[in-house]
Amino acid sequence: MVAFDEMTGGEGGLRAAYGELDRWLKEAPPEMLALRRSQAELFFRRIGITFAVYGDEESTERLIPFDIIPRVLTKPEWTKLEKGLRQRVTALNMFLADVYGPQECLKAGIIPPDLVYRNACYQLQMVDFQVPHGIYCHIAGIDIVRVDADTFYVLEDNARTPSGVSYMMENREVMLRLFPELFATHRVAPVDNYPDQLLATLRSVAPRTASSDPTICLLTPGQYNSAFYEHSFLADKLGVELVEGSDLLVKDDVVYMRTTQGPKRVDVIYRRIDDDFIDPLVFRSDSVLGVPGIIGAYKAGNVTLANAVGTGVSDDKAVYSYMPEIVKFFTGEEPILKNVPTYRCREREANAYVLDNLEKLVVKEVNGSGGYGMLVGPHASKQQIDTFRKKLKAQPEGFIAQPTLALSTCPTFVASGVAPRHVDLRPYVLSGANGISCVPGGLTRVALKEGSLVVNSSQGGGTKDTWVLDA
């Protein structure tokens, strides 16, 4: 299986978008690249961009490796992607409004009802509740993979609390510092207006009870959460308070922050706490991260939660496999972005095929994320395959399978020099009362190990700056 290389096009050629970069790479002495890379690492460590790996006793804070060679997309490539992303996120929001409302798509047989009703992320609390301005998924991260010059697939929709956008911004920041000469020869579309767009999105969805200058805050599980750096980074860029559950209190269905001047009313909460933990009175009663009563305030229409509660029903891997039909049903258009062909193991025939071809396929848990609980057939040991075979037989509806994709590769600076490594892309799509916005590019994740297809940071992946060339 030969992967498409975004620089060479796969046949030892050179694609136009990479012309300047190729010349620069040929001229740049390896020592200089190594030096810049260590400067980049120092920069990240000094400002404290770290993340935690759960279950890793040794260090609570690690750096995500950063690759100094940018990934380049052309304007036409991005334009098409962006159109597809807008369409996809529009459909996600319409789907959510529908499954918690009239349920037309279930009646029309677009998706099996049990995938919704029996989905652990389907929140009965949300049924027939009108969310402010009708928007559920304000911030979406759509994972995209590329397989050839023209084909981009959606690998996964992240409609709950997608993370990584701070890396997108800090990667650009460090590139601007370290390689100003590259920005002189490339017209790179800026990404630094993301916080402005996010703030505008959050302001636009304030409840109608709020003043024209709504109070917004960002709710974090706290500094031991793996994405805490990002939470504090975003709160800072947005100019809003970074609050923990204990900083908020609910009185008479109104949410307040505890401040040095007494309680202050809150209108919009960009929450980075999962549904399960957000309100111990409604969800997990053992949660100390959340705010007792916040769901009551939400349902009384006194506060907006972004994202809404219950968006998880739209992004699990079983629902994913129906996304092409969902997009078509709600938008009336052909999907611009394709899905990766997916076998639903809940279907008898599909499962039989998957069981016969485990060594060729990628098998994923329907509710898993972050690269955990996943089988990459071609790289798995016989024992791992047997384990999954048992799991699949015991609970087929818990899994989907996909062919092993030849993810595109990009030139990457590794120990042996510059070599191709597999990448994916996570653009961030914002939906507010005034429409959808999406900064050009997103976060490129790269599998640093030769031949590896797993880009997750928890599994040894790194990141790159992503350039959309304006000209």
Partner 1 sequence: MLSRTADSLYWVSRYVERAEYLARILDATTRLTNLPSAYGGAGTEWQSAVATAGCEDTFAKAYGEANERNVCDFLSFNPDNPSSIRNCFALARSNARAVRTALTSEMWDALNGAWLELQRFERKRMDREEFARFLDWVKGVSLAFDGSAYRTMLRDDGYWFSRLGVNVERADNTARILDVKYHVLLPETEQVGGSLDYFQWTTMLREVSALTAYHWVYRQAVKPTLIADLLILNRRMPRSLASCYENISRFLDQIGDAYNRHGPAQRQARRTLTNLANTPIEAVLQRGLHEFIEDFITENNRLGNVIVEQYLQ
Q: Which is nearer to partner 1, 220 or 409 (CB)?
A: 220
Residue 307 near residue 137, CB atoms below 8 Å: yes
Q: Which is nearer to partner 1, 232 or 456 (CB)?
A: 232
Structure tokens at 224: 């031991």
Q: Residue 94: which of 143, 131, 141 has the closest Cα?
A: 131
Which helix (H) or strand (E) is 41 found in, with range? helix 30-47
Shortest Å, Cβ 372 to partner 1? 26
Q: Which is nearer to partner 1, 38 or 223 (CB)?
A: 223
List C-alpha distances in Å: 78 to 75, 150, 189, 391: 5, 11, 11, 39
The residue ranges that bind partner 1 (CB under 8 A) are 45-48, 222-223, 228, 232, 235-236, 241-244, 246-247, 257-261
Pairwise CA distance, residues 348 & 397, whole Å: 10
The total of other beta-carbon atoms located within 10 Å of residue 438's CB is 22
Q: Which is nearer to partner 1, 263 or 368 (CB)?
A: 263
Shortest Å, Cβ 232 to partner 1? 4
3-state secondary structure of 247: helix
Shortest Å, Cβ 231 to partner 1? 10
326: DSSP letter? H
Shortest Å, Cβ 217 to partner 1? 9
Structure tokens at 426: 């996570």
Q: Which is nearer to partner 1, 211 or 260 (CB)?
A: 260
Q: Which is nearer to partner 1, 221 or 310 (CB)?
A: 221
Pairwise CA distance, residues 45 & 54, whole Å: 20
Shortest Å, Cβ 122 to partner 1? 34
Pairwise CA distance, residues 146 & 153, whole Å: 6
Shortest Å, Cβ 145 to partner 1? 34
Q: Which is nearer to partner 1, 5 or 267 (CB)?
A: 267
Dihedral (Cα; 268, 430, 289, 445), 10-degree rounding? -160
Shortest Å, Cβ 261 to partner 1? 5
